[in-house]
Structure 1
Amino acid sequence: MKTLEHTNALAEARSLEVPSRELSLRRDPSVSQFWNENRKLLEAAWAEWEIENKDDLLVPDETLLDPHLRKAIKDAWENPEKESAIVDLWEEVIPGVYVAQFFDIDRLADFRNYLEAVANAGVPKRAPYGIQLNRYGMMLDPRSEGHLAAPNFQAFYNDLMDRFMRPIARLLLGTYGYDNQPFGFSIQYNPDKDKDLHAHTDASSATLNININLPDEKFTGSEVDFYDKVSGKTVQAIFEPGKAIIHGGNVPHATHPITSGQRSNLVVWLYGDRMQIPRGSTSSYGNSSSDTIKDVALESVTPRQRWSLPDGPKDTAAPF
Structure 2
Amino acid sequence: MLEAAGLTTVEETVYRLLVTSATASAEEISAQTGLPSEQAEGVLAALATKGLASRTDRQPRHFAASPPDVALLPRLQRHADALDRARTAVTDLLESYHSAARRQDAGQLIEVITGREALRQHLRQMQDNARHEVLWFCKAQYVAMPSGTNRAEYDALARGVRYRVLYEQAFFDDDGAIANVVEGVRAGEMARSVPHLPLRLAVADRTIAICPLVPGGPQGNPSEPTAALLRDSSLVGALTALFERYWEDAVPLHVSASGTMSGTDDAADPLSETDRRLLSLLVAGVADKAIASQMGLSRRTVQRHIQHMMTIAGAATRMQLAWQAARRGWL
TM over 0.5: no
**TM range, normalised to the smaller chain?**
under 0.3
TM-score, with structure 2 as normaliser: 0.22
Larger Rg: 2
Q: Which has the higher contact order (CA 8 A, sep 6+)?
A: 1
Instruction: Give the TM-score normalised by structure 1.
Output: 0.22
